[in-house]
Amino acid sequence: MASVHVPKIETLFSVDHHLRYFDGEIRRRYGCFKELLEKIDKNEGGLEKFSRGYESFGIHKTPDGGIIMKEWAPGAEEMYLRGDFNNWEMTQYKFNKLDFGKWELKIPPRPDGTCPIAHCSKLKLVVKTKTGQLVDRLDPWASYVNRPEKVPIYDHIFWDPPQKYQFKHGHPPKPASLKIYESHVGICSWEGKVASYKEFTQNIIPRVSKLGYNAIQMMAIMEHAYYASFGYQVTSFFAASSRYGPPEDLKELVDTAHANGIVVLLDVVHSHASKNVVDGLNQFDGTNTCFFHDGGRGSHDLWDSRLFNYTEWEVLRFLLSNLRWWIEEYGFDGFRFDGVTSMLYHTHGMGHGFSGDYHEYFGLNTDTESLVYLMLANYMLHTLYPDFMITISEDVSGMPALGRPVEEGGGGFDYRLAMAIPDIWIKNLKESSDEDWDLGKLCHTLINRRYGEKAIAYAESHDQALVGDKTIAFWLMDKEMYTHMSIMSPPSLIIERGIALHKMIRLITIGLGGEGYLTFMGNEFGHPEWLDFPRIGNNESFHYCRRQYHLADDNLLKYKYLNRWDQDMIHLETQYQWLSHTQNFVSRKHDSDRVVIFDRADKLVFAFNFHPHKSYTDYKIGAVCNIVPFILTLTNLRYKMVLDSDAEEYGGHKRLDHSVDYYTKNEPWDDRQCSMMIYIPSRVALVFAKVD
């Protein structure tokens, strides 16, 4: 892989001229990245080779049928391998010590030429610490770990199946309009259990395809000993979680998604690691360092986890190889990087409000080493896999240029999560009635993103579904969802209001909020309950650790209305691809009328009436973008209504005639060059499309 030579930082300044005031700091950061990249080129033969550590580290079969293992444990005094293959004898197979804290073990084949360690054998590394203790550890590079049902400790399972899964489908093309279905395999069943990769493949992928989403974001795949951590306390970074099934089943899942044209993103956690010593990386070599910083810098007090030392050569090899592994072994198409804010700042973002002042991002609080790692990871991924790679940052701070290419001095991410959007929705729902929502502030939040950096908009993700918070559907309808969601039940003003606003909230978010869109599984149809994983606090109950998709499929229940709305909304975006058009203009945000009007993609006009009871006949709205030359005749441009939240199939009152054509008049209105008259009922959202 060739190094970058001439940074294109002037391009970055042309996108955001305010960054020019921090020219020196941006160039310094880029210089740190370039210096590290050049060291890798010089010492490792390039980033491509450096990031294939999984081919030499960990356990592997040799061509003659033997075994070779290599580990990095600089603090260890001795190292051994034991398992059921040698009746768990502690010190029979001893590693040889190499340079730079590395250890190697070779085991010859059996006399008959077969491998001395059989497929699915249980293994443990034994580390002799500086105090003379012999302690069991899991191989950090283990590709599969598992534990018996009643035993809380994991074993490394030697995964060498006689028939490995053969992928039938390649990576789908990178979507121009990214629409993500955020998913957790374990909760995909209505039953109170841990669901499987097979169940997700058979039941959820067809649903995602029918809904029209073109990406699945997989959570909690990297192995985590504590299920209730939601996958964010990773213990084995190279192992696909065994609680959902064997590795080959995950490969089939990804391949099936690809067969449906759906890209699969992995929720990757490189911001921290579990403190678990027996099952995780913590104190792997018997010291408090190895993969992590020592002292306070090596611990995250809020998350009670360990923090990587991104200056350590072998930590870089481990993490970069981890990204390559999930692509090369499982076929993932990209990553959503968790906890990026925590990585970017020495304070981990805790106790920091981030006002938007640029000095907050270019001062001493920024952790250059972590930022350079993210730059290096993004550079590697986009250089090696330019045709399909997608990376998304979870950063609440708003770090400038995080979503710009590395060669410009940016962080290299394709998208950033628009994390302020769900916050304002929950704030509005918790603190005020929709009659009092500040529409100007709402619109500002939806469009307030860094120019030239693409954002993923979402009304709610898994965060808002977790117990301790409430989903939007629950905030809107709460207990009445248990009694009034049947089409046979008596009318309910709460349910009617909730269904109307649920549809409007989602449409205005995907319409105005970003260049991509995300929903969490089940929330698209207003899933009636929160999400709570089995834990001591709930007596290890699975009751809320599931998704009740049958509710959306029941014709006697009103969840079907929200499910149909979401499906048609997503398919409409697929038809018009407005997410890939950054051009949008809010022509009206009228707090008294409770009306919001905006246009997007040069063809669509979105109209929202948030008023609880006022409907408007012959309501005048702006209709054409200013990019249309004035010399063109703007009279009698024809629009058709292409989406109507008041339609009967979405649980509305069917007050609009969908056969009506709407024609513009050459009368400027709301800073648009022409206008048209529409009928817009109360608590209704409409989309009009220009007919060519």
In angstroms, the Cα distances linking 547 to 150, 184, 193, 278, 458 are 26, 10, 11, 32, 19
Distances (CA, A) of 398 to 14, 315, 428, 623: 19, 27, 22, 33
Sorted by sequence, the CB contacts under 8 Å of residue 293 that are 6+ apart come out as: 307, 308, 309
- CA within 13 Å, CB half, 620: 11
Q: Are 685 and 637 in contact (CB under 8 A)?
A: no
Residues contacting 575, CB < 8 A, separation 6+: none
Longest dimension (CA), the chain: 91
The string of DSSP letters for 63-119 reads TTS-EEEEEE-TT-SEEEEEEGGGTT-SSSEEPEE-GGGEEEEEEPPPTTS--SS-T
β-partners of residue 125 are 81, 137
Q: Cα separation of 10 and 404, whole Å?
A: 12
Name 375's bridge partners: none
Catalytic residues, which ones? 338, 394
Q: What is the DSSP string of 570-624?
A: HHHHHHH-GGG---EEEEEEETTTTEEEEEETTTEEEEEE--SS--EEEEEEE-S
Cβ-contact 182, 462 below 8 angstroms: yes
Q: Which of 180, 514, 520 is nearest to 334 (CA)?
A: 180
Count CB atoms within 10 A of the CB of residue 168: 10
Report the DSSP pairing between strands 616-622 and 675-680: antiparallel
Would you say the C-alpha torsion 201, 203, 208, 209 has a positive or negative sign? Answer: positive
Q: Exposed, middle or buried by CB within 10 Å (0-12, 13-18, 19+), for 335?
A: buried
- Strand 122-128 with 102-107, pairing: unpaired
Helices (H) and strands (E) in the chain, counts: 16, 31
DSSP-assigned states of every residue in 393-430: E--SS--TTTTS-GGGTS---SEEE-THHHHHHHHHHH
Rounded to whole angstroms, how far apart are CA atoms 627 and 452?
Answer: 19
Contact 641, 658 (CB under 8 A): yes
Whole-angstrom distance between the N-terminal and C-terminal Cα of the chain? 47
Alpha carbons 135 and 128: distance in angstroms, whole number: 6
Retrieve residue 33's tokens: 């990245």
What is the C-alpha to C-alpha distance for residues 263 and 255, in angstroms, rounded to an integer?
A: 10
Spatial contact of 335 and 393, defined as CB atoms under 8 Å apart: no
* Cα(692)–Cα(675) distance, integer angstroms: 17
Phi, psi of 29 (to 5 degrees): -60, -45
